[in-house]
């Protein structure tokens, strides 16, 4: 479709843009619902289905780990591309989200070409390709948030994306877990393609700005010459200088510490419940899923509103304090020998409140990033640091299991979160002062 045709089509349909608040929330919710549906299908329903077919867990885990590589490389893969984007007829950032959705759907369509889910090599390659496009979609969506959401609404927007992902993941895991067993792989993939296409519609139909084309890969004739991407070397130099500032380094440390502490306890406690206290693995999964759904919906919305009214750092500080207290209580219960009988209470203490930390943390990270040359890239670096902290925490937890008792691990996690609360209580150490001007994004 030509640029003119796309503009006429969008004008004729009177499609909304991201300047409309309801449209913004709809687009961001649906985008993360889309990602959650795919994650629920692949990481939960399909992984459990493959285990039921008798495939070794080590092989299944290896192929899904390979598929997750693009998320680890996300800041390098897509951050500079989205940040340095020139103005397109269909929107400077939206063009990349549309390309990502279309590419992701085409990748998922490749599942229909497989002889079955047992073809792990081909299955892993399909999900690897989809992850490439999903990481691009995530980067473009983050940059759209920073470009178009007022600072006073970042908390609610963070909650909106969290709710979308949690609902999508829960729905995908439950629905496709049933369809894979009842109808088979091919039918489940067809349903996934249908539902994910429906979830992607808002991002495809809502324009970035009034007057943008609905679908066009051409450049905007009025502003293309005025908006030129920063030379790549200069872009990298500015990004490096921004991330090497003391405030950014402290914020990176905060991101790593929070997710590292949570992962260090979560993995160890789950293994102990199943292997040491005789819990049923399926029952444990149901409890964890229920807690995640509770915290990721009603809890996330409450924290989002709180962060917008009080500011992201006060909300983050209080949540870190409460989470630290919860972990110290859990440490006492474990030390008293009550880990098995008080398992549900400990799971609630160490899952619900800590799981809400990201809802308050994301607005703070966006405030720290927006206004900079490499805003999306810097933000993705922070998010990648959180992922690295989670991986490191899980690895360290397993390695230290023979040495450190579980109660001590919980106590150390509480102390780490208490330190994070202290840092979050000193905004000048991690965020630019409000009076410091922010340069407009390129």
> CA-CA distance, 366 to 146, in Å (whole number)?
7
Instruction: Over range 396-422, report the average pLDDT.
Output: 88
Decide if 143 contacts 93 (C-beta within 8 A): yes
Instruction: Over range 313-331, report the average pLDDT.
Output: 93
Residue 94 has pLDDT above 80, yes or no: yes
Query: Which tokens sit at 175?
Result: 């629905």
CA dihedral for 253, 258, 259, 260, sign (positive or negative): positive
Residue 278 has pLDDT above 50, yes or no: yes
> CA-CA distance, 104 to 139, in Å (whole number)?
14
Span 70-80, pLDDT tens digits: 887 888 888 88
Span 326-355, pLDDT tens digits: 999 999 999 988 888 888 888 888 888 877
pLDDT at 5: 46
CA 19, 24, 25, 29: dihedral to nearest 10 degrees? 180
| DSSP output for 342-405 | THHHHHHHHHHHHHTHHHHHHHHHHHHHTTSTTHHHHHHHHHHHHHHHHHHHHHHHHHHTTTS-
Residue 222 has pLDDT above 50, yes or no: yes
Span 101-160, pLDDT tens digits: 999 999 999 999 998 888 888 898 999 999 999 999 999 999 899 889 998 899 999 999
404 vs 105, higher pLDDT? 105
CA dihedral for 419, 421, 424, 426, sign (positive or negative): negative
Instruction: Over range 79-83, report the average pLDDT.
Output: 83
Decide if 140 contacts 100 (C-beta within 8 A): yes
pLDDT tier at 356, thresholds 50, 70, 90: confident
Give whole-number Cα distances, 221 to 90, 238, 408, in Å: 12, 28, 63
pTM over 0.85: no
DSSP secondary structure code for residue 17 in this structure: B
> CA-CA distance, 231 to 438, in Å (whole number)?
21
First to last CA, the chain: 28
Hunting for tokens 């959705």 — which residue is that? 101
pLDDT at 11: 46
Give whole-number Cα distances, 153 to 158, 289, 321, 441, in Å: 9, 28, 24, 19
């Amino acid at each position: 479709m030509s640029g003119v045709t796309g503009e006429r089509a969008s004008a004729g349909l009177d499609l909304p843009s991201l300047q409309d608040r309801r449209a913004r929330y709809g687009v961001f919710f649906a985008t993360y619902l889309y990602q959650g549906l795919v994650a629920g299908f692949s990481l939960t329903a399909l992984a459990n289905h493959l285990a039921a077919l008798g495939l070794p867990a080590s092989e299944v885990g290896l192929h899904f780990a390979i598929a997750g590589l693009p998320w680890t490389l996300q800041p390098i893969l897509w951050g500079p591309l989205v940040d340095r984007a020139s103005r397109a007829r269909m929107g400077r950032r939206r063009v990349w989200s549309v390309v990502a959705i279309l590419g992701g759907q085409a990748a998922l369509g490749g599942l229909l070409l497989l002889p079955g889910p047992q073809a792990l090599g081909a299955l892993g390659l399909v999900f690897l390709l989809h992850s490439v496009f999903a990481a691009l979609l995530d980067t473009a969506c983050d940059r759209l948030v920073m470009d178009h959401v007022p600072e006073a609404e970042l908390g609610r927007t963070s909650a909106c994306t969290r709710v979308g992902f949690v609902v999508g993941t829960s729905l995908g895991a439950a629905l496709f877990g049933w369809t894979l067993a009842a109808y088979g792989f091919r039918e489940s993939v067809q349903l996934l393609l249908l539902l994910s296409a429906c979830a992607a519609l808002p991002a495809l139909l809502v324009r970035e700005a009034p007057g943008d084309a609905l679908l066009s890969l051409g450049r905007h004739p009025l502003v293309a010459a005025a908006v030129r991407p920063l030379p790549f070397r200069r872009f990298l130099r500015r990004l490096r200088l921004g991330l090497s500032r003391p405030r950014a380094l402290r914020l990176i440390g905060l991101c790593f510490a929070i997710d590292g502490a949570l992962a260090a306890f979560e993995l160890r406690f789950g293994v102990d419940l199943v292997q040491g206290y005789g819990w049923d693995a399926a029952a444990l999964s149901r409890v964890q899923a229920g807690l995640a759904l509770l915290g990721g919906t009603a809890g996330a919305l409450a924290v989002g509103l709180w962060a917008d009214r009080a500011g992201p750092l006060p909300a983050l500080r209080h949540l870190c304090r409460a989470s630290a207290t919860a972990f110290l209580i859990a440490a006492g219960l474990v030390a008293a020998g009550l880990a098995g009988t008080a398992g549900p209470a400990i799971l609630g203490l160490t899952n619900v409140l800590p799981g809400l930390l990201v809802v308050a943390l994301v607005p703070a990270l966006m405030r720290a990033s927006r206004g900079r040359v490499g805003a999306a890239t810097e933000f993705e670096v922070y998010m990648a640091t959180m992922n690295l902290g989670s991986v490191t925490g899980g690895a360290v937890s397993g390695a230290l299991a023979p040495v450190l008792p579980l109660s001590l691990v919980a106590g150390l996690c509480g102390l780490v979160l208490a330190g994070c609360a202290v840092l979050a209580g000193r905004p000048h150490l991690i965020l630019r002062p409000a009076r410091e001007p922010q340069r407009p994004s390129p």
